[in-house]
Amino acid sequence: ADSRHTGFFVPLSDVPENLREFVRNENTSEIFGPYQEDGSFRIAKLIEAADRPDSVHARHILLAPNQMRTLAQTKTAADSLIRLIKSGSKFEVLAMTNSDDQGSAQIGGDLGWFREGMMVTPFNNACFTAKKGEIVTAETNFGIHIIEVLERSKNTRKYNIGVVDRKIIPSSTTNQAVYSEASQFAGTNNTYNKFNSAVAERGLNKLMANDVSPRQKTLPGLENPRNLIISLFSAKEGEIVLDNNQQAVFEIGDNYVVAFCTRVQEEGIAPVSAVENEIRYSLIRDKKAEIISEEFRKNKQEGTTLYDIASSMGLNVQEATDINFRSYSVPGIGTEPALVAAASAARQGIVSGPVKGNNGVFMFYVNSVTTSEGQDLSQIQDNLMASFQMRGGYEAYEALRKGAQIVDKRYRFY
């Protein structure tokens, strides 16, 4: 198995949904599966069903082996402490003076309440099988634990389920076959038109990445595609992207990728064709804002309230508090500097607007205005001066860097 069996018991509510009916039958001789889950093939078997507490309250004394004490000597020391406890010595006092768990020693070894699965397996099993008040021991990677269960919650039906899993990974034969297929695909479809036609015909997954920058490290849908990005900036517009070995297939995570450079944006002002979608969106947005603003104006008449306007247009009225000129956003709406500025300058008690913002067009009504008290300008001056001084070193370095006229082309190598 690729995963280790913990041996923990779990209630039915924590059993994966596809296993619940199988587990509920409590048949320990049957095998469930194989089934596919989380990138693995699995088979499951009910090892045991038992009534166990949901959680326990316990305390412990940890004795850890060290250079001065072997494991055998540690076990002997634990036996001595158990005899002291059974003869009447106080557990909490012995924990304070002997436990190597410094986190709990100072509170008498108390671990509080914990559910099954929160502790390492041997410790967990000792706690959840012991009776209230029983002294038990458990050996873990930390050492020897002397445990007393102080309280147990009500028993509930719980299940110990064994699962054998193997991750679904391609074999070398599969890898070679898929790589060969990808290489053949790249060789046959070596123009962007052929590439698009082949993708459509074969129903392949075509991803698009716009405005890729030289130092970018991520691309949508790909894991660590930096090598592809480096190679992209050596390709010409309309060409297939080749790596340093002039190969057109990139191995990225679990994928073989064939990529084309569809557009090159040179430094400077972008051509209209490159930004036409953004311009179209901006123009449509502005036109929509004009139409909404005009509709607001038609409904804004003398004596009309904000609620009247909202009702006639099928809108809702929201309230926002503590807006001031230093704000950059409006609660419940988002970043709206134009609305903040208009509200800060508006008169109280009248319907104002419309105001075109980032997220919509707004009408608003100022309910109340609180005048701020005069501020200590000397403190503001000191803060600004400190800020400028901190920026001084950075700004000086930036001026030197720009003046040197160095072209940074490290992106071509890593």
CA distance 169 to 254: 9
Mean pLDDT per 10-residue interval, the chain, length 414 residues: 87 92 92 92 94 96 94 95 95 95 94 94 95 95 96 95 92 94 95 95 92 91 93 93 94 93 86 85 94 92 86 91 84 90 91 93 92 75 87 86 81 81
H/E stretch holding 398:
helix 377-404
Q: H-type helices in 205-345, by residue range?
A: 226-232, 272-299, 306-313, 337-345
- Provide the pLDDT for residue 408: 79
Q: How many angstroms separate the CA atoms of 204 and 197, rounded?
A: 10
Q: Given this model, what pLDDT does residue 374 score? A: 66
- pLDDT value of residue 261: 95
pTM (predicted TM-score):
0.51
Nearest to 125 by CA among 237, 65, 50, 181: 50
pLDDT of residue 76: 95
All domains of the chain, ordered by start, with CATH? 55-153 (3.10.50.40), 275-365 (no CATH)
Burial track 89-114 (b if 16+ CB lie within 10 A, e otherwise): eebbebbbebbebeebbeebbbbeeb
Q: Which two tokens stand for residue 281?
A: 């969106």
pLDDT digits (tens, 9 = 90+) for 145-175: 999 999 999 999 999 999 999 999 889 999 9
Residue 70 phi, psi dihedral angles, 5° rounding: -75, 170
